[in-house]
């Protein structure tokens, strides 16, 4: 498939709209799982660490499977993957309404819903990057706000549905809403070159057709020969009986020679198909080897290597507040009458604002998006250190707003990845980075929950979370400093097809 130049508009805005609603519908419930988390704690009576696995798997398993998701989008396209994933998300949510135990939720809500969300996220980001170049930061910022708006709305919606229909009814209704993803996915038209010739039919499909034509022609020739031979033999038999016997023997010899030729031709066709299958398997193996070689080349880029460490540590420490902030307020004995708005809703609306503002900033030429991303990491670490000192709803609400705004750096993360490795390697590199992000998402909330089960307070857990995020930010800053680039490039050259951030951004 040959892609033409990104139009930076036109049908691209339709892609942005449907990608926004896709992320809204699929990520609304998993990101607002903090509301369900409290209900599951009361329903199943398990520990905080064990119960937190449900939400962490839902948000992490899709990212863990990002390399597989990237391969699926590259092989089948964004539209089929989006439609298939819509069924997965809706089915997983509806199955979760019948969960008899927390372990059933690990599969239905954690794995099925999480994997569907991962496929949808990869599909929306990939097709948006294909349609936009100059306005890519704005486009990615707009579509990524869909999940944040979903977090804001679903936090209040799920709480209201639980009060009206119970936990099971809430999950059934939310699952039914997710079926609208099918309509959004059907509008994700691939960006193809209009003047490109249609793809040739693969050789593996051509061989049966050619053999079929050959077989039909051979059959017709055999019928004609048999008719002529029959008339000739009958005429001979009427005139002279000995000649008839002799001709019949000759005809048998001719027919046997024809059968031998047919067998040789058929064997030849079988050998050709066997060789083709061997060559196809050899090419597939070469593609796998090329994939791993390109992966090694990516990790030789020190900025990319620091980026995967930073995203891993950021998700270990930065994701738990969006899942556990409601329980943090309940553990601090804050009166529910003082609640003006759920803390999760505050995180959601401020994440939307952060994604928009940071996405717009990324489009300015004078803004270094890598340094902007590092700044958000360092500020997130400081805000996490401040959570243990917040003992009122007002201070927790302020910290929730700050953390939500800084979490909006997800909108510029694909932008940073593109500038680091180039658009040609975006799908490959982004899949690897999302794998480590999913690992952090999966481990972060259970670790914080285990800290609480161990110490019966959240202070130690958030000190640990803040340290992880700060460490990742400092490592990425060190790798991106120009002086470090100068020191490491004096004695060695970059390997081929590898890009430093400074070169790619220029």
Residue 188 to residue 379: CA distance in whole angstroms:
36
pLDDT > 70 fraction of the chain, expressed in percent and rounded: 76
Give the per-residue pLDDT at 403: 92
Structure tokens that stand for 358 in this block: 């940071």
pLDDT tens-digit series, residues 367-422: 888 889 999 999 999 999 998 888 888 888 899 999 989 988 887 887 788 778 87
Give the per-residue pLDDT at 90: 94
Lowest mean pLDDT among 286-300, 304-318, 358-372: 286-300
Give the per-residue pLDDT at 205: 41
pLDDT tens-digit series, residues 87-124: 999 999 999 999 998 999 999 999 999 999 989 988 99
Confidence of residue 492 (pLDDT cuts 50, 70, 90): very low
Q: What is the mean pLDDT of residues 130-136?
A: 81
* Residue 449: Cβ within 10 Å count: 25
Residue 208 to residue 215: CA distance in whole angstroms:
10
Residue 341 to residue 503: CA distance in whole angstroms:
46
Give the per-residue pLDDT at 324: 80
* Residue 81: Cβ within 10 Å count: 25
Confidence of residue 246 (pLDDT cuts 50, 70, 90): low
Residue 485 to residue 501: CA distance in whole angstroms:
10
Residue 98 to residue 475: CA distance in whole angstroms:
45
pLDDT tens-digit series, residues 303-336: 888 888 898 899 888 888 877 887 788 777 777 6
Residue 322 to residue 440: CA distance in whole angstroms:
14
Residue 419 to residue 505: CA distance in whole angstroms:
6
**Secondary structure of 395-427 as H, E, C letters:** HHHHHHHHHHHHHHHHHCHHHHHHHHHCHHHHH
pLDDT greater than 90 at residue 172: yes
DSSP result, 71-112: HHHHHH-HHHHHHHHHHHHHHHHHHHTT-SSHHHHIIIIIII
What is Dmax (Cα atoms) for the chain? 120
**Secondary structure of 132-174 as H, E, C letters:** CCCCHHHHHHHHHHHHHHHHHHHHHHHHHHHHHHHHHHHHHHH
pLDDT greater than 60 at residue 488: no
Give the per-residue pLDDT at 143: 86
Give the per-residue pLDDT at 201: 43
Confidence of residue 47 (pLDDT cuts 50, 70, 90): confident
pLDDT greater than 50 at residue 34: yes
pLDDT > 90 fraction of the chain, expressed in percent and rounded: 20
Give the per-residue pLDDT at 481: 78
Residue 498 to residue 267: CA distance in whole angstroms:
48
pLDDT greater than 50 at residue 290: yes
Give the per-residue pLDDT at 460: 87
pLDDT greater than 50 at residue 505: no
The whole-chain average pLDDT of the chain stands at: 77
The residue ranges of DSSP E strands in 201-321, in sequence order, are none
Residue 21 to residue 12: CA distance in whole angstroms:
14
Q: What is the mean pLDDT of residues 113-141?
A: 85
SS3 282: helix
Residue 342 to residue 370: CA distance in whole angstroms:
32
pLDDT greater than 70 at residue 497: no
Give the per-residue pLDDT at 391: 82
Give the per-residue pLDDT at 330: 78
Lowest mean pLDDT among 166-170, 238-242, 402-406, 452-456: 238-242
Closest-CA residue to 127 (of 186, 196, 62): 186
Closest-CA residue to 142 (of 12, 334, 322): 12
Give the per-residue pLDDT at 251: 52
What is the pTM (predicted TM-score) of this model?
0.64
Q: CA of 93: how far to CAs of 88, 141, 186, in Å?
A: 9, 27, 21
- By the 8 A CB rule, do 122 and 71 touch? no
Give the per-residue pLDDT at 500: 40
Confidence of residue 260 (pLDDT cuts 50, 70, 90): low
Task: Look at 95 and 280; give whichever has higher pLDDT.
Answer: 95
For the chain, which domains are there?
A: 1-194 (1.20.1250.20), 301-484 (1.20.1250.20)
Q: What is the mean pLDDT of residues 228-241?
A: 47
pLDDT greater than 80 at residue 132: yes
pLDDT greater than 70 at residue 178: yes
Residue 60 to residue 48: CA distance in whole angstroms:
18
Give the per-residue pLDDT at 202: 44
What's the chain's length in residues?
506
């Amino acid at each position: 498939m040959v892609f033409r130049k990104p139009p930076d508009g036109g049908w691209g805005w339709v892609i942005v709209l449907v990608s926004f609603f896709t992320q809204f519908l699929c990520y609304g419930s998993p990101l607002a799982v903090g509301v369900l988390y409290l209900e599951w704690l009361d329903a199943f009576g398990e520990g905080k660490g064990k119960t937190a696995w449900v939400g962490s798997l839902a948000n992490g398993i899709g990212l863990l499977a990002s390399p597989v998701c990237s391969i699926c989008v590259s092989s089948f396209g964004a539209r089929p993957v989006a439609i298939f994933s819509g069924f997965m998300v809706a089915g997983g949510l509806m199955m979760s309404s019948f969960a008899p135990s927390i372990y059933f939720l690990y599969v239905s809500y954690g794995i099925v819903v999480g994997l569907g969300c991962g496929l949808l996220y990869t599909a929306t980001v990939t097709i948006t990057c294909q349609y936009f170049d100059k306005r890519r930061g704005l486009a990615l910022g707009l579509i990524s706000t869909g999940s944040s708006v979903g977090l804001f709305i679903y936090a209040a919606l799920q709480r209201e549905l639980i009060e009206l229909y119970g936990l099971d009814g809430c999950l059934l209704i939310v699952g039914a809403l997710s079926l609208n993803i099918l309509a959004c996915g059907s509008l994700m038209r691939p960006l193809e070159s209009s003047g490109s010739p249609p793809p040739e039919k693969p050789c593996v499909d051509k061989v049966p057709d050619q053999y079929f034509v050959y077989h039909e022609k051979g059959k017709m020739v055999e019928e004609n020969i048999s008719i002529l031979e029959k008339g000739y033999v009958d005429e001979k038999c009427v005139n002279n009986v000995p000649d008839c016997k002799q001709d019949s023997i000759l005809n048998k010899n001719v027919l046997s020679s024809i059968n031998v030729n047919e067998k040789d031709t058929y064997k030849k066709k079988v050998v050709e198909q066997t060789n083709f299958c061997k060559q196809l398997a050899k090419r597939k193996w070469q593609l796998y080897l090329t994939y791993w070689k390109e992966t090694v080349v990516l990790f030789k880029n020190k900025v990319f290597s620091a980026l995967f460490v930073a995203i891993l540590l950021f998700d270990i420490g930065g994701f738990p507040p969006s899942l556990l902030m409601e329980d943090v307020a309940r553990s601090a004995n804050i009166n529910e009458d003082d609640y003006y708005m759920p803390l999760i809703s505050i995180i959601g609306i401020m994440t939307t604002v952060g994604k928009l503002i940071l996405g717009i900033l990324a489009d300015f030429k004078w803004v270094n998006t890598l340094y902007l991303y590092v700044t958000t990491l360092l500020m997130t670490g400081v805000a996490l250190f401040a959570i243990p000192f917040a003992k009122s709803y007002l201070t927790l609400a302020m910290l929730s707003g700050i953390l939500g705004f800084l979490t909006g750096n997800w909108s510029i993360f694909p932008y940073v990845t593109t500038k680091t490795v180039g658009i040609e390697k975006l799908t490959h590199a982004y899949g690897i980075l999302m794998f480590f992000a999913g690992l952090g998402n999966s481990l972060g909330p259970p670790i914080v929950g285990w800290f609480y089960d161990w110490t019966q307070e959240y202070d130690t857990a958030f000190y640990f979370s803040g340290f992880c995020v700060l460490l990742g930010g400092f490592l990425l800053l060190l790798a991106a400093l120009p002086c470090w680039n100068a020191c490491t490039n004096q004695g060695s050259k970059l390997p081929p097809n590898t890009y430093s951030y400074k070169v790619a951004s220029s």
